Chains A and B, each alone.
Chain A
Amino acid sequence: MKFSRLILANLFRKKARLVLTIGSFAVALFLFALLGVVNDAFSRGADVVSADRLVTINRTSIINTIPLSYRDEILRIPGVKYVTHDNWFGGVYQDPKNFFPQFVIDPENQRQVFPELIVPDDQWNAFLKDRQGTIVGAATMQRFGWKIGDRIPITTTIYGLAGKHFEFNIDGVYHGAKPEDDETQFWFQWEYFKESVPDQLKGQVGWYTIRIANPDDAPRIAKAIDNMYLNSPYETKTETESAFAQGWVKQFGNIKFLIVSIGTVVFFTLLLVTGNTMAISVRERTNELGVLKAIGFSDRAVLGFILGESIVIALAGCVGLLLALVAIPVLGRALAGLLPPLLVTAKTLAYGVIAALVVGFASGILPAYGAMRLSVVNALRRV
């Protein structure tokens, strides 16, 4: 600690340079946090899914439907506890930019299959009694300033119903059991949907979500379901919810690769910028380093001073992470519905600090090593 004054005094030698270098770190770490959060958001689907759930879709594509009659047949497979079905509604609330996902649900089994999405019993019971009822995720409620009892008009764009208006009564709000659970969905009843769609779609659902008794049985049950409908007009593809979520994310492209590439370029540039700054800083005071060595400071101490300076700059740059902590939730609210929830986790912040320390160390080590190896006599000759 007794050397901290020397380190800090040297850091503040050129204040503009210090501010700009810390600023570079802060911007890079902010970007790091943002990229990390976006990556988390896209991969979260695979992380937060339950191990005891399977998803069955039409083998051709998720946009092709499958018969409702499969539900009871699937339920008879040993190991299957509950089956629920959903349809994508594809509606627009006021303006297409107000996107949020709307699902036609099976009220009978929804809560058994998705117990982590919690609806108070009184609200759920009101929903069951209301044919036009809807349960809305807390995030979407907050986004549009809705409250229970509001009547919400939605215009659908698919199922040959393009332009048709549906009216919904908000009967309840669901919350996720965990912060990362999706709270943007809008659920409404199968019966209300069924009465409006063309006849050929009345007995068709988008996909099934199946809750099984033992996750170890997932491969067997998935195979049993798909074998059951092999060579039928509606062949199925069943996979774990995790695999389904990963496949969904892949439709957006290789998000992780993109994020890692951008992050790498940013940090490599930061490394060059900071390394150059430290090298200039050391070169400017070669003579002073020679004096320190002459009066008895060891090579290792000089190495420590320079490394200390670059690491202090890196840690000061962590203000970018604090900025991310404040700004990303605001950004997340602005992009609600377009992106999964953006959550700044302790893990992201910890990785940010580690990345800062690594870059701080890497950018300081070469100039520090040069200072360590500096000959006192040569250093003192330089003015």
Chain B
Amino acid sequence: MVRVDGSGAAGSLIQVRGLDKTYRRGNEDIDVLQGLNLDVDKGDFVAFMGPSGSGKTTLLNLLGGLDVPTRGTISVAGDEITHMSRDKLTHWRARHVGFIFQMYNLIPVLTAFHNVELPLLLTKLSKAERRKHVETALSIVGLGERMRHYPRELSGGQEQRVAIARAIVADPTFLLCDEPTGDLDRKSADEVMDLVKRLVNEHGKTVLMVTHDPVVARQANTTLHLEKGVLVEAGARQAAVAGGAS
């Protein structure tokens, strides 16, 4: 269950309270997020929508421990991450977060296999164990046969599926997707979203996704709108569909 009013249960997987983020540009302070609250349970699939500059990516960066808030707290599975040191946050990210980016962001000089293996290099797994995990992740995304291919030898949709395999290979607590279909044609976008839904429905993954695309957002269980730095609307997928129909 997703809530934005700060009334979530203590057991929420992700709990955000009073989150502010202010950037300084020249002499001007720009408030990107203002007093944002959010509760996300395990297995939720949340889409964040909003106009450009509304703070969607900033929120994702804060939830993923890539950036630190000006005020407020973020707790994930009981870990309060907002006061972690840079080093500790790096280790936390490795263990808990899987990132999927709009531009796939694969390392071009590594094969699909070695791109997916990257997060496992930070673990104590043996080479054989790493291989097994990578093969499993690539088979989940349907690219078991393409593991020796370099990114330049793959289509955009395939590259994004490799990126998804990289995001899930270390079995993170949740996935953060920043416009995962933003660079794909509709067919490839549908394939990628089918895959993300499978991760939620069949593998119990928690997914938080930023998108501009309402079609993509409708795939999520819950869509939240960010406007002027606050989450102004929340609703279950059914409610959003019902609202759209009326």
Task: Determine how close the nearest CB of chain B comes to the CB of A7; give it in whole angstroms.
Answer: 11
**B interface residue count range (under 10 / 10 to 19 / 20 to 34 / 35 or more):** 20 to 34
Cβ of A211 < 8 Å from any Cβ of B? no
Taken together as a complex, chains A and B put the C-alpha atoms of A294 and B121 apart, in Å, by: 14
* Size of interface on A: residues with Cβ below 8 Å to B: 23
Cβ of A120 < 8 Å from any Cβ of B? no
Contact A291 B90 (CB under 8 A): no
Contact A291 B105 (CB under 8 A): yes
Cβ of A293 < 8 Å from any Cβ of B? yes
Taken together as a complex, chains A and B put the C-alpha atoms of A281 and B204 apart, in Å, by: 40
In the complex, what residue of chain B is closest to A381 when comparing beta carbons?
Answer: B57
If A294-B99, A295-B166, A376-B66 touch, whether A9 touches B109 (CB-CB below 8 Å) is yes
Secondary structure type dominating chain B contacts: helix
If A291-B105, A380-B101, A383-B103 touch, whether A298 touches B90 (CB-CB below 8 Å) is yes
Contact A10 B109 (CB under 8 A): yes
Contact B93 A295 (CB under 8 A): yes
Secondary structure type dominating chain A contacts: helix
Contacts of A10 in B (CB 8 A): 109
Contact with B along A294-314 (1 / 0, CB 8 A): 111111000000000000000
Cβ of B67 < 8 Å from any Cβ of A? yes
> Which residues of chain B (77-133) have a CB below 8 Å from chain A?
86-87, 90-91, 93-95, 99, 101, 103, 105, 107-110, 114, 118-119, 121-122, 127
Cβ of A377 < 8 Å from any Cβ of B? yes
Contact A296 B67 (CB under 8 A): no
If A376-B66, A377-B66, A380-B101 touch, whether A296 touches B107 (CB-CB below 8 Å) is no
Taken together as a complex, chains A and B put the C-alpha atoms of A380 and B103 apart, in Å, by: 10
Contact A296 B119 (CB under 8 A): yes
> Which residues of chain A have a CB within 8 Å of any CB of chain B?
2-3, 5-6, 9-10, 12-13, 287-288, 291-299, 376-377, 380, 383
> Which residues of chain B have a CB within 8 Å of any CB of chain A?
61, 64, 66-67, 86-87, 90-91, 93-95, 99, 101, 103, 105, 107-110, 114, 118-119, 121-122, 127, 166
